[in-house]
Amino acid sequence: RWLFNQAVCTLYAFCGVLFGLCSLTSLTVLSTVCCLKVCYPAYGRCWDVLSDLCLRLFFLLTYPLPPFFFNGSDPPLLGKLSLRAPRSHYGPEPYGTACCITWKASSKEATLYILALFIFCYLLPCLLILVSYSLILWTVRVSRRAVRQH
C-alpha cells in the first residue's frame, strides 16, 4: 500500500510523469539530431555548437509542457494550485504501491488531458523516433549500395 499522505502521492506522481516525459523527449531529440546529422550532413555546418545545444535544451524542457496547459485540461497538480477545481487527479496505482495519474477519467476535461498526454507526449515522439531511425537505416543502406557499385 502507499505509505504516505495524498500530498506526497501528488508530488511523487507529478514528478514521475514530468521526468518520464522529459526522458522520452530527450530520446526523441537525440534520434532527430542523429537523423539530421546522418541523413542531412549539411545541417552540421549550419549551426554552431552553442546554438545547437541551446535549441536542444529549449525543446527538451518545453515540449513536455503543452499537455500541462492544454485548453481546458489542467494537470492535477496545477488544478490544485489554481482557483478552479482539479479536472484530473493523481492517486495510487491499482496495486497501491506507487502513485500516478488516475487513468479512469472522471470528466470531459480529464479525458482531454489524458488524450493530449497520449498524443503529444507518447504517440508523436514515438513516431518521430521511428521515422528518424528508419531514415538513418535507409541512408546507410543507400550508401552501402553506392560503395558496392563503386
Residue 82 belongs to a domain: no
* HEC per residue, 32-101: HHHHHHHHCCCHHHHCCHHHHHHHHHHHHHHCCCHHHHCCCCCCHHHHHHCCCCCCCCEEECCCCCCEEE
The predicted model scores a pTM of 0.73
Residue 77 belongs to a domain: no
Residue 81 belongs to a domain: no
CATH code (residue 137):
1.20.1070.10
pLDDT by residue for the chain (150 residues), tens digit each?
Answer: 778 888 888 888 888 887 888 888 888 888 888 888 888 877 655 555 656 666 667 766 666 665 555 534 445 555 544 444 445 677 888 888 888 887 776 777 778 778 878 888 889 999 999 999 999 999 999 999 989 888
